[in-house]
Amino acid sequence: MAEIKKVILAYSGGLDTSIIIPWLKENYNNCEVVAVAADVGQGAELSGLEEKAIKTGASKLYIEDLTKEFVEDYIFPTVKAGAVYENKYLLGTSFARPLIGKRLVEIAKKENADAIVHGCTGKGNDQVRFELAIKAFAPNMKIIAPWRTWELKSRDDEIDYAEAHNVPIALTRETNYSKDKNIWHLSHEGLDLEDPANEPDYEKILELGVSPEQAPDKPTYITLSFEKGVPVALNGEKMDGVTLVKKLNEIGGANGVGLADIVENRLVGMKSRGVYETPGGSILYHAHEVLETICLDKETQHYKQQIALKFADIVYNGQWFTPLREALSAFVDSTQETVTGDVKLKLYKGNIINAGVTSPYTLYSEEFASFGEDDVYDQNDSAGFINLFGLPIKVKALLDEQRNK
Amino acid sequence: MAEIKKVILAYSGGLDTSIIIPWLKENYNNCEVVAVAADVGQGAELSGLEEKAIKTGASKLYIEDLTKEFVEDYIFPTVKAGAVYENKYLLGTSFARPLIGKRLVEIAKKENADAIVHGCTGKGNDQVRFELAIKAFAPNMKIIAPWRTWELKSRDDEIDYAEAHNVPIALTRETNYSKDKNIWHLSHEGLDLEDPANEPDYEKILELGVSPEQAPDKPTYITLSFEKGVPVALNGEKMDGVTLVKKLNEIGGANGVGLADIVENRLVGMKSRGVYETPGGSILYHAHEVLETICLDKETQHYKQQIALKFADIVYNGQWFTPLREALSAFVDSTQETVTGDVKLKLYKGNIINAGVTSPYTLYSEEFASFGEDDVYDQNDSAGFINLFGLPIKVKALLDEQRNK
Amino acid sequence: MAEIKKVILAYSGGLDTSIIIPWLKENYNNCEVVAVAADVGQGAELSGLEEKAIKTGASKLYIEDLTKEFVEDYIFPTVKAGAVYENKYLLGTSFARPLIGKRLVEIAKKENADAIVHGCTGKGNDQVRFELAIKAFAPNMKIIAPWRTWELKSRDDEIDYAEAHNVPIALTRETNYSKDKNIWHLSHEGLDLEDPANEPDYEKILELGVSPEQAPDKPTYITLSFEKGVPVALNGEKMDGVTLVKKLNEIGGANGVGLADIVENRLVGMKSRGVYETPGGSILYHAHEVLETICLDKETQHYKQQIALKFADIVYNGQWFTPLREALSAFVDSTQETVTGDVKLKLYKGNIINAGVTSPYTLYSEEFASFGEDDVYDQNDSAGFINLFGLPIKVKALLDEQRNK
Amino acid sequence: MAEIKKVILAYSGGLDTSIIIPWLKENYNNCEVVAVAADVGQGAELSGLEEKAIKTGASKLYIEDLTKEFVEDYIFPTVKAGAVYENKYLLGTSFARPLIGKRLVEIAKKENADAIVHGCTGKGNDQVRFELAIKAFAPNMKIIAPWRTWELKSRDDEIDYAEAHNVPIALTRETNYSKDKNIWHLSHEGLDLEDPANEPDYEKILELGVSPEQAPDKPTYITLSFEKGVPVALNGEKMDGVTLVKKLNEIGGANGVGLADIVENRLVGMKSRGVYETPGGSILYHAHEVLETICLDKETQHYKQQIALKFADIVYNGQWFTPLREALSAFVDSTQETVTGDVKLKLYKGNIINAGVTSPYTLYSEEFASFGEDDVYDQNDSAGFINLFGLPIKVKALLDEQRNK
């Protein structure tokens, strides 16, 4: 292992990634460890992180603010696709990983590093997502995943290791759920949640908002404006994507919307159970979908449902930097040309309720839809339509009759 | 038109189908009109209906209770499929029509009738659904659809016609929304709802339950039990399908769940807007889906999402009696072999919240999912998995690198 | 019908469209008939056509050469998509219609005409394709389709009508198959072909080439070069699309390739049987597909198969000018970025045999594929891959075992 | 490794599996090796195999004739599905593996063995297919795959090892292509084929038949009869599946049909190139597809194309014993109820040419398809059909016009 002289470490300052630093130096001949903390809107305390990283043995710390890129280039394209994994999961963790992986490669190249290190477990999806991104931009880069190989098997092992190696451990606000947080969502796994028979104790778990029960008795109305499928304004006020998502998180969280309790199929072959908070995201998906119901024609709308299923798999699996994801995005972008308009929603104790939608490109026409007369639709046409639409059924029945005579 | 001596009329006793009787007699040489009232759980007053039909000119009235068949042979197979039209509509009207159409044919054959008559508008889906069912069982049967051809163009025209022909008109509980009701749902269309910019006035509209705001402040817990994808018990009490759906409607309605406000794409080419109440149905779909997340393996679960999209289209389009619907059902039934278990749900002001799911066939294993050690999953395997899963990405990147040298 | 003063007629000079001219003048108050002959490479005699049209009653004749546009904007995008209808039909007639329909509208607007007239039968697909294109560009344009309404029901009726109205009839080279020809293909329908039990008499039918039996005993080798999915050269010689397709037709036809004998499902609900000659097109599709096997990654290649199925339906149905076709094309174009390279083929008595394929973007790597050692692929990885890929199967089997204990 | 006392070895008698025997005894503490030779119709010499296996160190040899099961339970269900991998590969090797894997488990259980051993390379699909089948029936069974772990890296290494361990080597009919043969097909990989730029030398390679050039100058006509999608007779003579496939192989091979030269995507992430001979299989697929064109309605036929794509992936990946494969088969079987009839084909120098198809369940009706009058189809209906089918296009165009005013 002599060839590893310098590594890039995806670093959060938590216990897991902190003890990796001395472990790397121990196992890779005292190699240089460059730590990289990616800010994807998780709202963690970043001040003091550099000091901590260096105290733990890193040679330096990059703090990378990726939030804007995350929202505009990863989240919004996925919202436009309407991609939801297994009908419930809004992919919060999934699409953050490729972005971070890509930045790790950029820094690794700049630093001329020999390997990239991540602290993901060997049982999860994130290792795949990180490594696929790394392979896409640095196919020959060595990847080190200590959790798959070292002897530490529990949190206690980690704490022992940390103490033995003088790693400062922050035990403030101890919670034992395994979490992942960014500007889009917060996930909770582990402990009592590991048994799907258990009802989640939302009062205890939730951080981004409240439960429906605790939400206010009065509804909140909001209006979201989209241009070509991208949200651009809230309540008539134009704002950038990051601001908009943050505001929606506040409003949604306060009204108890965006909770999901899911048993999902991990890419690596097993099922896992998680509770997700995606307050702003849930509102955005909902609003976008409502707008599409008036802006997309039926054939496009229906086929896009299929595309969305594939898009979700692709994002979940970490295959963001692939020709197929790009081709799917090309499809989606083409459909969004006319997805422009305003969606009014009523948020009330966990509910997102439609309160009116308008678009300059609406394909809904009150005139044609109503049951009265109009100039476009001749009701006699439907007789012909039915006769031809039903012709295969009729022919089959006729031939069956003839055969059975 | 001399050949039409006897017709079968799909009859509800409402204004639309009542005036058809004199119209038929007038236009088809005083033909005999046999009225058929199908009971699909709409809960309408059926007593007095016979008298009314005969007074209006019908020679007799069949009252057909199709509720059990509707629930067991149409609704539950669709729930098992997880079929939802355009991501929101639970197909309440759609799958009632084929069933009624089939019964109309049976009666027409028994009565040796020359034609079947329905009162559907020429702008809607129901005419297609009725007629496809009729073609499937009586391909040569003549179909008469007065709304597509007569000169009556408005409700006022109808009332005038009724008065001129001595048709008794019930104007009790006048509401002007166009509605369709059965054991599964109640739909509302028309008036202010015709503009999707208008928020529905739920307090005024709802009949099967209350709005989330009006629902109780305390949640209601229920447990639904399924066997092979079919709901068989509520709160531990075994019950037949009809009883179960009715109870769920009560409980769901009381808790404000199952409301949908949709702009949908009709088969006949235009968009329409409707508000749907499906309290029990929404709970059933939700519970069934949750159970599947632990009983189906990933590949089956994902592919079944595609099947569900097609199944929904097929049902919506009235293509129930087709080889494709049967083949899709064969697929679905095969997947349901292990969809057996209990789903606990918390109903609260419009929300359906998971409160625990168990199954003797669960594929979820806490042992494998947890991040600790276990005997089944060797974390080292994931390195190999990722390398092969990511091989196409790596190869592409390597070859790109070589080309760019 | 007084409002129709001037119409645009899709005109070929054949019997069907010739007699429409007097029929229009007779039925639409002596309206002006502007004839439009679209050249999509059918190779028909166009000299003399103007004289003939005017003699028959038209006020003028437009001759529109659409061949280049047809090849580049309709054919090649469909080849790139790999779209084949019902696994056999290369869509020759289908994509010509929208193009012609669009041009008819352009001329109708320029001429300020009141209606567009086509000579398609009421039982076929072409009426749909024409009219959908017209609706896309002139939604309020009146469309006249005499074949659906007039009393002429047979060829004899037509001839009688022609003679009664002094329409000159060309009976040179009489053949009774119903045909459609353009630069891409020639189709044959009718007569003995109407019974799928009958073997086609290729010696009698074929016009674009010979049958496999009559083809030379020596194979012909060709090399096709593609850039981003578009064919650009034949045997190393760069040429425009029109020239290339023509040359391929000659070479393919001479070698007996590109015959298809199909029972297909028409959009209007019945099955029909046709024999198609698509010599050049078959070679192009084949070559393009071979090139994609080395240029596309697996996920893209597989998903594109689904896209191709939809694309084929859309083209067959005449829905070219729709948002969905555009979105599908955006997907396809994105995948074609690297579909560049050379495909060598051996044509021999109806066979198209691969004779070598190369691409600067090939993802095939002899080194990785061979069963020996290499630097990229560690065979140990596959154990891990299989364990995770097979985990759902294993878990299911384990849980089954536990249950059955 | 002390726990391995007895293993089951998938054994062919070739070099690869022969040297595994001493290797196992050497590395697993002289464990007992029970060899199993599966006969899936490869036509290999089985006499003398027992003596050879025992001489090489095996304690006994099972010879299992799986041919009938292979044809009836694996091949025919896949033909019914119309499953073709990547549009070309008829899955010959793919579906043999699960069957053999299942039998290995049965013998392992009977023999109370500790592990199952196969001789597949770590770069191929077959290791996956074998191991998935083993996991499905014996999730805890240990699997040994020497090729992934031992030091032998080449054929020379193997020969040296064989000589050093007194393994008798049969060098008769030496060929260096890597092959897989069974009743369905013969595949060739390696050597010059590893470069897709090379044209295969069919004269040298082919074993099951001749090349198109060498095939007779006179065509051969055959008639295949199907019942519910299963071939049951050839030229009017009823015969069992095994006999039928063998006869088709002879006839097809003699006429040069069924050759495929493919670059395919392996499951394990790389592309590989192979030449396949599937003479009888190609005829069966072709005939079945032709029959379906007249027996299946359009919606079923089109959707089944999607099912076929998935079915092919599933089979290729070795996921035969999974709920999804079973559900897909349930779909397929449902569609095959009416796929009964006769298909006449003309085989000529590599071509399979339709020569007539009939079915008692045909949905093709000459009467409806012809362009003349009939009782079923009213041409006026198509105007209504087009107006509704095209309504979304018209509405969009109208609204666009309004906006652009």
Q: What is the ipTM of this complex?
A: 0.96
Q: Which chain D residues touch C395 with a CB distance below 8 Å?
A: 139
H/E stretch holding D12 reads none
Which range is most confident: B28-37, C144-153, D150-159? B28-37
The structure tokens listed for B112 are 């040796």
**Are C268 and A306 a contacting pair at CB < 8 A?**
no
Q: What is D181-358's CATH number?
A: 3.90.1260.10
The structure tokens listed for A214 are 């605790």
**Any C CB within 8 A of A170 CB:** no
**Any B CB within 8 A of D197 CB:** no
pLDDT, tens digit, 9 for 90 and up, residues C181-207: 999 999 999 889 999 999 999 999 999
**Are D399 and A365 a contacting pair at CB < 8 A?**
yes
Residue C71 C-alpha, separation from nearest chain D C-alpha, in angstroms: 24
**Are B337 and D331 a contacting pair at CB < 8 A?**
no
Give me the phi and psi of B36, to 5 degrees please. Answer: -130, 120
SS (H, E, C) B151-214: CCCCHHHHHHHHHHCCCCCCCCCCCCCEEEECCCCEEEECHHHHCCCCCCCHHHHCCCCCCHHH
B18 among annotated binding-site residues: yes
The domain segmentation of chain B, as residue ranges, is: 6-176, 181-358, 372-399
Which residues on adjacent β-strands are paired with residue C276? C187, C260
Q: Identify the band that residue C94 occupies on the pLDDT scale cut at 50, 70 and 90.
A: very high
Query: Which residues 128-157 of chain D have a CB within 8 Å of chain C?
Result: 128, 131-132, 135-140, 145, 147-149, 153-154
C97 in catalytic set: yes
CA D303 to chain centre: 22
pLDDT, tens digit, 9 for 90 and up, residues A208-261: 999 999 999 999 999 999 999 999 999 999 999 999 999 999 999 999 999 999
Min mean pLDDT across A225-229, B270-274, B401-405, D219-223 is at B401-405
**Any A CB within 8 A of C397 CB:** no
B17 among annotated binding-site residues: yes
Which residues on adjacent β-strands are paired with residue B13? none
Q: Please report how the helices D379-389 and A380-389 are oriented relative to each other, as an axis angle in degrees rounded to 10.
A: 100
**Any B CB within 8 A of A368 CB:** yes
Q: Which chain B residues touch C300 with a CB distance below 8 Å?
A: none
pLDDT at A171: 58
Say if residue A130's pLDDT is above 70. Answer: yes
Share of chain B above pLDDT 70, in %: 96
Q: Identify the band that residue B150 occupies on the pLDDT scale cut at 50, 70 and 90.
A: very high
Encode B75-99: b = buried (16+ Cβ within 10 Å), e = exposed. Answer: bbbbbbbbbbbbbbbbbbbbbbbbb
Share of chain D above pLDDT 70, in %: 96
Residue C384 C-alpha, separation from nearest chain B C-alpha, in angstroms: 4
Asked whether the beta carbons of A211 and A202 are under 8 A apart, the reply is yes
pLDDT, tens digit, 9 for 90 and up, residues B275-292: 999 999 999 999 999 999
Residue A272 C-alpha, separation from nearest chain C C-alpha, in angstroms: 12
D400 in catalytic set: no
Give the number of beta-carbon pairs within 8 Å between C and D. Answer: 280
**Are B360 and C403 a contacting pair at CB < 8 A?**
yes
Q: Identify the band that residue C1 occupies on the pLDDT scale cut at 50, 70 and 90.
A: very low
**Are D199 and C86 a contacting pair at CB < 8 A?**
no
Asked whether the beta carbons of B29 and B21 are under 8 A apart, the reply is no
Does residue A213 sit in helix, strand or coil? helix
The structure tokens listed for C252 are 């393919």
* Burial of residue D107, with CB atoms counted within 10 A of its CB: 0-12 exposed, 13-18 middle, 19 or more buried: middle
**Any B CB within 8 A of D170 CB:** no
Contacts by residues D73-76 (CB-CB < 8 Å, ≥ 24 positions apart): D73/D99, D74/D98, D74/D99, D74/D320, D75/D183, D75/D184, D75/D241, D75/D245, D75/D281, D76/D229, D76/D230, D76/D231, D76/D241
Give the number of beta-carbon pairs within 8 Å between B and D. Answer: 91
Q: Which residues of A are annotated as catalytic?
A: 16, 97, 126, 178
Amino acid at D126: D
Q: Which chain D residues touch C139 with a CB distance below 8 Å?
A: 393-395, 397-398, 401
**Are D394 and A376 a contacting pair at CB < 8 A?**
yes
Q: Where are the beta strands (DSSP E) in C266-350?
A: 271-277, 341-348
The predicted model scores a pTM of 0.97
Q: Identify the band that residue A307 occupies on the pLDDT scale cut at 50, 70 and 90.
A: very high
pLDDT, tens digit, 9 for 90 and up, residues A338-392: 999 999 999 999 999 999 999 999 999 877 666 555 667 788 899 999 999 999 9
Share of chain C above pLDDT 90, in %: 83
- Rounded to 5°, the CA angle A275-A277-A281 comes to 135
Q: Identify the band that residue D324 occupies on the pLDDT scale cut at 50, 70 and 90.
A: very high
pLDDT at D379: 83
**Any B CB within 8 A of C324 CB:** no
Classify B6-176 by CATH class: alpha beta
Say if residue D153's pLDDT is above 90. Answer: no
Say if residue B174's pLDDT is above 80. Answer: no
The structure tokens listed for C263 are 């029972």
The structure tokens listed for C35 are 């004839």
pLDDT at D371: 54
| R_g (Cα) of chain C, nearest Å | 25
Q: Which chain B residues touch D338 with a CB distance below 8 Å?
A: 323
pLDDT at D245: 98
* Residue-level length of chain D: 405
Query: Which residues 46-105 of chain C have a CB within 8 Å of chain A?
Result: none
DSSP letter at A214? Answer: G
Asked whether the beta carbons of B14 and B45 are under 8 A apart, the reply is no
Give me the phi and psi of C92, to 5 degrees please. Answer: -50, -50
Q: Which residues contact D45 (CB under 8 A, 6 or more apart)?
A: none
DSSP letter at B215? Answer: S
In the block, residue with structure tokens 């296996």:
D53
Widest CA span in chain D: 91
Q: What share of chain C is helix, strand, coil (3-state, %, to 5)?
A: 45, 20, 35
Residue B242 C-alpha, separation from nearest chain A C-alpha, in angstroms: 28
Average pLDDT score, chain A: 94
Say if residue C366's pLDDT is above 80. Answer: no
Widest CA span in chain C: 91
**Any D CB within 8 A of A381 CB:** yes
**Are B369 and A194 a contacting pair at CB < 8 A?**
yes
Query: Which residues 288-307 of chain B have a CB within 8 Å of chain D?
Result: 296-297, 299-300, 303-304, 306
**Are D387 and A394 a contacting pair at CB < 8 A?**
no
Q: Can you tell me the mean pLDDT for B232-245?
A: 98
End-to-end CA distance of chain D: 83
* Residue-level length of chain A: 405
pLDDT at C338: 97
The structure tokens listed for B151 are 């000169």
Which residue is catalytic, options D178, D211, D261, D374? D178
Q: Which chain C residues touch B380 with a CB distance below 8 Å?
A: 384
Residues of D within the annotated binding site?
Answer: 10-18, 38, 89, 94, 119, 121, 125-126, 129, 178, 187, 264, 276
**Any B CB within 8 A of A370 CB:** yes
What whole-number distance in Å separates Cα of residue A100 and Cα of residue A36?
A: 9
The structure tokens listed for D181 are 């043969």
Give me the phi and psi of B148, to 5 degrees please. Answer: -80, -15
Sheet holding B351-358, edge to edge: B237-238, B230-234, B220-227, B341-348, B351-358
Does residue B98 sit in helix, strand or coil? helix
**Any D CB within 8 A of A394 CB:** yes
Q: Using DSSP, how many helices (H) and how many strands (E) does chain C show?
A: 16, 14
How would DSSP label each residue in A273-313? EEEEE-HHHHHHHHHHHHHHHHHS-HHHHHHHHHHHHHHHH
pLDDT at A170: 66
C297 in catalytic set: no
Q: Which residue of D has its CA nearest to B124?
A: D388
Sheet holding D115-117, edge to edge: D60-65, D32-39, D6-10, D115-117, D142-144
Q: Which of C265, C333, C391 sits opposite A270 (nearest CB)?
A: C391
Q: Which chain B residues touch C361 with a CB distance below 8 Å?
A: 399, 403
β-pairing verdict for B271-277 and B186-189: antiparallel
B13 among annotated binding-site residues: yes
Does residue B36 sit in helix, strand or coil? strand
pLDDT, tens digit, 9 for 90 and up, residues D356-404: 999 999 999 877 666 555 666 788 899 999 999 999 999 899 888 888 8
Does residue D186 sit in helix, strand or coil? strand
H/E stretch holding C224 reads strand C220-227
pLDDT at B371: 54
**Are C334 and A337 a contacting pair at CB < 8 A?**
no
In the block, residue with structure tokens 């192989």:
D249
Q: Interface partners of B (3+ CB pairs, < 8 Å)? A: A, C, D
Which residue is catalytic, options B39, B59, B65, B178? B178
Q: Which of C149, C383, C395 sits opposite D148 (nearest CB)?
A: C383
Which of B310, B313, B381 is most worth mutating to test chain C (most C CB atoms within 10 A of its CB)? B381
What whole-number distance in Å separates Cα of residue A397 and Cα of residue D323?
A: 33
Q: Which of C270, C300, C324 sits opposite A323 (nearest CB)?
A: C300
Q: Which chain D residues touch A398 with a CB distance below 8 Å?
A: 376
Pinpoint the alpha helices (H) of D96-235: 96-111, 126-137, 146-149, 155-164, 202-205
Q: Which residue of C has its CA nearest to D301?
A: C86
pLDDT, tens digit, 9 for 90 and up, residues D328-349: 999 999 999 999 999 999 999 9
**Are B297 and D335 a contacting pair at CB < 8 A?**
no
What whole-number distance in Å separates Cα of residue B46 and Cα of residue B38?
A: 10
Residue A402 C-alpha, separation from nearest chain D C-alpha, in angstroms: 10
Share of chain C above pLDDT 70, in %: 96
Q: Identify the band that residue C172 occupies on the pLDDT scale cut at 50, 70 and 90.
A: very low
What whole-number distance in Å separates Cα of residue C347 and Cα of residue C342?
A: 16
Q: Can you tell me the mean pLDDT for C57-63?
A: 97
Average pLDDT score, chain B: 94
Asked whether the beta carbons of D71 and D242 are under 8 A apart, the reply is yes
The structure tokens listed for B129 are 């659904």
Q: Can you tell me the mean pLDDT for C301-330?
A: 98
Q: Which chain C residues touch A296 with a CB distance below 8 Å?
A: 323
pLDDT at D310: 98
- Rounded to 5°, the CA angle D365-D369-D373 comes to 105
